[in-house]
Structure formats: structure tokens, C-alpha cells
Amino acid sequence: MRYLFLAPALRWLGRLSYPRLFAVTAALFALSVVIPDPIPLVDELLLGLGTLLLARLKRPKDEGGTPPPIDGRAERRR
């Protein structure tokens, strides 16, 4: 039963931009602190939102692709 509610909600929230996702998470957390368990399954929803927020903090790769090779020569010595 949980999956039927949480999966679509987290899928929709995963498409939000970072500032909006942070605002929704902060508002839901503040509501949960003021009123204990205002929405059923709010704890699981907050864990999912926290995971989405941490995933968005990942730094994007450079546009150039792979880094340039190191200058120099490699030799095998015996």
C-alpha cells in the first residue's frame, strides 16, 4: 500500500528543480515538527526527498568530457 502512494509522489517530486525540491522538503519537515505525523507516511516521504536532495548535490561533469592526457613519456624499466 505504501508503494502505491510513495512511488508516484517521489517520481513527481524528482522532476522538480533543486530550489523547489528544497522548499517542499523544508516545508514538509517544518509541518512534521510542528504537528507530529500530519500526513500518513510523512517520514518515508521525507527520507525519499532527502535522498533526492543529496542526489542533486552531485557535481556535474565538465563539458569537455575526458581530461587531457598528462604530458610525458612512460617507459618500462627492468
Residue 62 has pLDDT above 70, yes or no: no
For a pLDDT cut of 90, what percent of the chain falls above it? 0
User: Would the pTM of this model clear 0.75, i.e. be above it?
Assistant: no
In the structure, what pLDDT confidence band is assigned to residue 35 with cuts at 50, 70 and 90? Answer: confident
In the structure, what pLDDT confidence band is assigned to residue 42 with cuts at 50, 70 and 90? Answer: confident
In the structure, what pLDDT confidence band is assigned to residue 17 with cuts at 50, 70 and 90? Answer: confident
Phi, psi of 67 (to 5 degrees): -70, 155
15 three-class SS: coil
Q: Are 31 and 66 contacting, i.e. CB atoms less than 8 angstroms apart?
A: no
